[in-house]
């Protein structure tokens, strides 16, 4: 028997429009639903359309959870090696960032885990955090130090290669390539529709007084090399974390006061206010108009007027 679903909690007065364009993306009388509670630090949601299920991480509890509208929530994997961010590859397989193993892994159809990347220049990675897959099958991920700094999120350790980089793993494997090495603590990341722009969060303010708490844009050339980068948007409540883009190129970012939505020029359009800090988010649902949000102890969802990019 599946567990009884948690009664839905509806949060009214959560829509905060800063620009009239926000009303084109979400109904201003929309409510955010709390789908599940009981996590310690919910992170890394990823949608599986073929089974209408969502997977996400509960990092301190060392588990991956699975939600289904009718069946409720069950444990997908425990222990999870302190998994954080997830995505899917071009074959639909789960790709995960694991703090405990300091690696990026893939879950095969039979449930086996394959290690895709765990070293750079002969040294162990820090604690891969978030991950995306591009159209050519290459895997892009961030590698801050949170999982080796905080025993609630992984296993204590040292930065072996000396930095916190954004990496690219070529399709089919091979040597890790450094995308960017000038972040303090790279975190969430997402591609634009044409994959010529990579949005990357820097939450370096958690480790450096007055450090970054912003989203940067990296402009890429045809070979995936960074041509230039700049700050795209500053976050006005806590720290940014995960990112998701909609079909029109708006950037949805989790933050300390919920979710913030930015236009393509970096102007703030509006917020989805939550009673706890948001960590990550993804689009899903039958028409990909549902935004799922992992936030501290809970999983939330809100129906939007715009589809997710992927």
- C-alpha span between 169 and 21 (Å, rounded): 37
Residue 173's pLDDT is 86
Q: Are 214 and 231 in contact (CB under 8 A)?
A: yes
Residue 6's pLDDT is 42
Range 236-243 average pLDDT: 92
Range 16-45 average pLDDT: 95
> Model pTM?
0.95
Q: Answer yes or no: is pLDDT of 135 > 50.
A: yes
**pLDDT tens digits, one per residue of 193-203:** 999 999 999 99
Mean pLDDT across the chain, nearest whole number?
A: 94
Residue 223's pLDDT is 86
Q: Answer yes or no: is pLDDT of 136 > 80.
A: yes
CA-nearest of 109, 177, 115 to 140 is 177
Q: Answer yes or no: is pLDDT of 8 > 60.
A: no
Q: Answer yes or no: is pLDDT of 2 > 70.
A: no
Q: Are 104 and 98 in contact (CB under 8 A)?
A: yes
Please give the angle made by the CA atoms of 13, 17 and 21, to the nearest 5 degrees. Answer: 140
**pLDDT tens digits, one per residue of 247-276:** 999 999 999 999 999 999 999 999 999 999
**pLDDT tens digits, one per residue of 31-56:** 899 999 999 999 999 999 999 999 99
What is the end-to-end Cα distance of the chain in Å, rounded?
Answer: 33
**pLDDT tens digits, one per residue of 268-290:** 999 999 999 999 999 999 999 99
**For 114-273, where are the alpha helices, taking DSSP H only?**
146-149
**pLDDT tens digits, one per residue of 65-76:** 999 999 999 999
Which residues are within 8 A (CB) of 148 and not within 5 positions of it... i.e. 6 or more apart?
A: 99, 102, 126, 127, 154, 155, 156, 157, 158, 159
């Amino acid at each position: 028997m599946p567990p009884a679903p948690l009664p839905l909690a509806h949060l009214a007065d959560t829509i905060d429009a800063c620009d009239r364009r926000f009303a084109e993306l979400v109904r201003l009388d929309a409510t955010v639903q709390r789908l599940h509670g009981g996590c310690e630090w919910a992170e890394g949601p990823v949608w599986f359309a073929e089974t209408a299920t969502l997977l996400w991480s509960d990092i301190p509890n060392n588990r991956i959870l699975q939600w289904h509208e009718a069946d409720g929530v069950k444990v997908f994997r425990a222990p999870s090696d302190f998994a954080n961010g997830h995505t899917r590859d071009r074959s639909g397989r789960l790709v995960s960032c694991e703090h405990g193993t300091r690696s990026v892994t893939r879950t095969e159809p039979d449930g086996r885990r394959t290690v895709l990347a765990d070293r750079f220049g002969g040294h162990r990675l820090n604690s891969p955090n978030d991950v995306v897959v591009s159209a050519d099958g290459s895997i892009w991920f961030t590698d801050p130090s949170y999982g080796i700094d905080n025993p609630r999120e992984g296993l204590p350790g040292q930065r072996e290669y000396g930095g916190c980089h954004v990496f690219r793993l070529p399709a089919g494997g091979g040597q890790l390539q450094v995308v960017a090495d000038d972040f303090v603590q790279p975190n969430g990341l997402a591609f634009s529709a044409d994959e010529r722009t990579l949005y990357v969060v820097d939450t370096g303010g958690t480790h450096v007084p007055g450090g970054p708490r912003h989203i940067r844009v990296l402009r890429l050339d045809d070979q995936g090399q960074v041509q230039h980068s700049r700050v795209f948007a500053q976050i006005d409540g806590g720290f940014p974390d995960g990112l998701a883009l909609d079909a029109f190129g708006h950037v949805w970012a989790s933050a300390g006061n919920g979710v913030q939505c930015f236009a393509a020029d970096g102007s703030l359009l509006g917020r989805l206010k939550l009673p706890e800090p948001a960590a990550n988010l993804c689009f899903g649902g039958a028409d990909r108009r549902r935004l799922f949000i992992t936030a501290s102890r809970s999983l939330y969802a809100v129906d939007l007027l715009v589809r997710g990019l992927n």
